[in-house]
Structure 1
Amino acid sequence: MSTSPISAPDELVGHLAARVARRDQPPPPDEHTFTPARVRQRLEDTLAALVPGRNARGRATQAHMCYAFLRQEACTAAQLAAAAGVGRVAGSHAHTGLVRAGLLRFAYEGPRRVFRLTRFGEDWLLAVARNEHPPVAPLP
């Protein structure tokens, strides 16, 4: 007699064990998840809930402004507008919405008004950049 009936259950159990082991492993990370375009798109998507009433162009401007804070800690209004590729008036509307949402705060450093992320803004931006769930906005 052949031994295949005896080894067949062992083989099936081995396949099941391999399938269970693969099930518990996380999928490999998407190498394109952290490209600038994907991060800015996630920023736009999550800004829609934080800053209601903005159109897609306004959210894109705000997303570019938030992305600038990944590179530097503080930005002037002119730097934020330049990062978003808009004029100073449109930049002013955009960063005002981010201040109202609790993501940015400003202080005067000499003659310039400098914007920085709030504590919530830092946590929020880090979570969105990492592709995690952002924290809930604090109540006003």
Structure 2
Amino acid sequence: MLKAIRSLTSRFRREVPGVAPTPAPSGLFSADEMPPAADIAAAAANFHRAADQGRAADRAKRAARKLLDRLPAGRYGAWEVERVASNRQTADLDAIRRIFREHGLGEVPMKTAAPSLKVTRAAADTLPAPVLAEAA
């Protein structure tokens, strides 16, 4: 059954020119472990809804920061505005490139980020209904 699902779903994958498909992560469900289609649909809907809420929250934060970033530190009514040092650190790529260049090491090796999980509502004709029933 898993072979049939893979062959059918592979026909409906959208190919993006110039972008190699990402390999499947480890730990995927086997054909015998597949949850019911209703559970998958509910999880996808929850994920999609949460992603929309996250994007809306990000937009609201960016809008609020336009004003707040320009305020000097202080108390504004019931709100305290201050700037605090972050504990996050990132590599200084300019310094790393300079060190590589000075030592003749070539380009700085880079690796791609982990693939992102993207959940979108499929068009009605994208995946035949029987495949969803078989996956359950």
TM-score clears 0.5 = no
- TM-score by length of structure 2 reads 0.24
Q: Relative to total residues, which structure has the larger strand share, 1 or 2?
A: 1
- TM-score by length of structure 1 reads 0.24
Q: Select the structure with the greater relative contact order (CA < 8 A; seq sep ≥ 6).
A: 2
Q: Relative to total residues, which structure has the larger helix share, 1 or 2?
A: 1
